[in-house]
Amino acid sequence: MKKHVHYPRIEINTSKLYENAKNVVDYCGSKGITLSGVIKGFNGIPHVAEALGKSGCAHLASSRLEQLVRLRKRMPAFPFMLLRLPMLSELEMMVRHVDISLNSEMEIILQIEQHAEKLGKKHSIVLMLDLGDLREGFYSPEELIEAALHIETNLKHVRLAGIGTNLGCYGSVVPTAENLGALCSVASEIEERIGRKLDFVSGGGTTSIPLLLSDKMPAGINHLRVGEEILLNRDLPDLWGFSLPGLHQDTFTLKAQVIEVKNKPTYPMGELFLDAFGNKPVYQDRGVRRRALLAVGKGDFAMHDKLIPLTEGVEIIGSSSDHLIVDVEDCKEAVKVGDILAFNMYYAPMLYLTASQSVKKVYLKR
């Protein structure tokens, strides 16, 4: 009997993540851009976040305050950035543990000032401008400028650190020289009126990197907040046709165990209605083929079509809450019960797998 090893597991290679972060930090640095390393994609697991913190990034950043609070115990002095606009109910916690946050509501900023005063702390703020992606941010540049001037002249514990924008996440709007150029114009106007440079003009995340690679980034942008490109390096090469050299893609690996292997038809028999999630999947009749069942499911990874099989001949055909079904007809070596199959992944499975209670986290160094 083999020693008991827990499956499913996700193996996280902290050396490769560090190298990716260092590479992106150095590349952006060479273009005059400082970086915040975004840790929310892996639930801010402290051991992994610590590896990213050594890369030279200016902050570690997350949209979830609880991840930063948990990390604070391990990294008492490292600058942390909160990416999601803070809730009124979390301001005290935020001011205690976070150095800089993205904001768009004066009501919240005024309360941050009060908490910071009470705690004897300083808190920095990046005001967000909505350039058409329609998630967070002031929609009116004039309103943003007015807020910036108010912070600069009236608040003592809140520092106006800069302005920023987010693109692509909701409205799928592409960052361009034009829309980021508009952010830079607003920044220049604020700088002129307050008589000093802003620390940060923050031009987005991973999807803004193509502008750097094609030398079209407006000169005023000096900061990015990057997660995906550091963690997985999948979106730029696969969706945008760009790539930064030297980045690993095998940073997060799911390993799951085969619990059944049988020859079965590929088209379900009987009257078809809806699957376990209320969807009507399309099934292709390819006759009888060999397929394997794995003990991991949507409850762990959410989206099977965002997993990438590492064994040649393995093809993902579907999943339910607790099962993943793969076609193994074309595998060179026969897949058998007890075998372990490995998968790399896109962003969504990384997000869910690193949070799943049933998935063991294993940290690798090369």
Ligand X SMILES: *Cc1c(COP(=O)(O)O)cnc(C)c1O
Q: Which residue has the tokens 């088209």?
A: 267
Which lies closer to ligand X via its Cβ, residue 12 or residue 38?
Answer: 38
Q: Which amino acid is at 300?
A: D
Options 43, 165, 166, 354; binder of ligand X; rule CB under 6 A: 166
Which lies closer to ligand X via its Cβ, residue 212 or residue 328?
Answer: 212
Q: Does 205 interact with ligand X (rule: CB under 6 A)?
A: yes
First to last CA, the chain: 28
Write down the least CB distance from residue 362 to ligand X, Å: 23
Q: Does 206 interact with ligand X (rule: CB under 6 A)?
A: yes
Which span (38-46, 177-185, 295-303, 305-313) binds ligand X, by CB under 6 A? Answer: 38-46
Question: Which residues ranging from 259 to 318 are in contact with ligand X (CB under 6 A)?
Answer: none
DSSP conformation class of 91: H
Write down the least CB distance from residue 84 to ligand X, Å: 6
Site string for ligand X, 78-117 (x = CB under 6 A): -----x------------------x---------------
- Among 40, 255, 298, 306, which one carries the catalytic annotation? 40
Write down the least CB distance from residue 173 to ligand X, Å: 13
To the query of whether residue 216 is one of the catalytic residues in this protein, the response is no
**Token pair belonging to 147:** 């807020």
Options 53, 86, 227, 349; binder of ligand X; rule CB under 6 A: 227
Q: Does 17 interact with ligand X (rule: CB under 6 A)?
A: no
Check if the beta carbon of residue 242 is closer than 8 Å to that of residue 205: no
**Token pair belonging to 207:** 């999807």
Residues with Cβ within 8 Å of residue 35, at least 6 apart in sequence: 24, 25, 28, 29, 57, 58, 223, 224, 225, 226
Which lies closer to ligand X via its Cβ, residue 252 or residue 256?
Answer: 252
Instruction: Tell me which long-range contacts 118-124 makes (C-beta under 8 A, separation of at least 24).
Output: 119/92, 119/95, 121/95, 121/96, 121/157, 122/157, 122/158, 122/159, 123/94, 123/95, 123/98, 123/99, 123/157, 123/158, 123/159, 124/99, 124/100, 124/158, 124/159, 124/160, 124/161, 124/199
Options 9, 16, 223, 225; binder of ligand X; rule CB under 6 A: 225
Options 99, 133, 228, 300; binder of ligand X; rule CB under 6 A: 228
**Token pair belonging to 177:** 């020289």
CA distance 129 to 227: 20
Which lies closer to ligand X via its Cβ, residue 8 or residue 205?
Answer: 205
Which lies closer to ligand X via its Cβ, residue 102 or residue 158?
Answer: 102
Output phi, psi for 229, to 5 deg.
-60, -35
Distances (CA, A) of 350 to 49, 89, 343, 355: 14, 29, 11, 9
Handedness of CA 288, 292, 297, 300 (dihedral sign): negative
Check if the beta carbon of residue 95 is closer than 8 Å to that of residue 112: yes
Which span (7-15, 35-43, 114-122, 154-162) binds ligand X, by CB under 6 A? Answer: 35-43
Which span (25-33, 34-42, 212-220, 277-285) binds ligand X, by CB under 6 A? Answer: 34-42
Q: Are strands 158-164 and 200-202 parallel, antiparallel or unpaired?
A: parallel
Which lies closer to ligand X via its Cβ, residue 14 or residue 206?
Answer: 206
CA distance 70 to 156: 28
Which lies closer to ligand X via its Cβ, residue 167 or residue 258?
Answer: 167
Q: Radius of gyration of the chain from Cα atoms? A: 23
Which span (115-123, 214-222, 225-233, 274-282) binds ligand X, by CB under 6 A? Answer: 225-233
Options 49, 116, 226, 258; binder of ligand X; rule CB under 6 A: 226
Which lies closer to ligand X via its Cβ, residue 126 or residue 314?
Answer: 126
CA distance 304 to 252: 15
Q: Which residue's C-beta sits nearest to ligand X?
A: 227
Which span (51-59, 223-231, 247-255, 302-310) binds ligand X, by CB under 6 A? Answer: 223-231
| Residues lying near ligand X in the complex (CB under 6 A) | 38, 40-41, 63, 83, 102, 166, 205-206, 225-228
List residues with catalytic annotation. 40
